[in-house]
Amino acid sequence: MQRSKITSTTRLLNTIRQFNSETGRDPYTRELLRLLRTWGYGESVLRSLEEVGLVERYRDRCSAGTRRRCTFNKLTEKGLDYLTHAELVMMIPTPKVRGETAVDYSN
């Protein structure tokens, strides 16, 4: 998997986890995409994560006093495992490109 896909997947899953820990509920899709500040790409990543089983999406009432229904996004156990491993992978330094010179900023 490419580093950018790992980054976007990890960012989306972390946002769901953080929202859940702060509010005690799962974010619905509009809230999640607004927090990520990405609509088209964010939704495509969200749908692909649902397909592979990292996120579970379900419909429910948006709030107790309304009839409006929203699609909520919940982390699965597989998603939590992915986050654990992805954070370790992101700590691996990126290899230098051949012919690239190191810049010394110590001056």
Cα 69 → chain centroid: 23
pLDDT on residue 64: 80
CA distance 104 to 58: 52
pLDDT, tens digit (0-9, with 9 covering 90-100), for 25-56: 999 999 999 999 988 888 999 999 999 999 99
Phi, psi of 2 (to 5 degrees): -70, 150
Instruction: Write down the domain spans for the chain.
Output: 3-90
User: The whole model's pTM is what?
Assistant: 0.77
74 with 27: CB under 8 angstroms? no
CATH of 3-90, one of 1.10.10.10, 1.20.950.20, 3.40.50.450, 1.20.120.80: 1.10.10.10
The residues near 31 (Cβ < 8 Å, ≥ 6 apart) are: 19
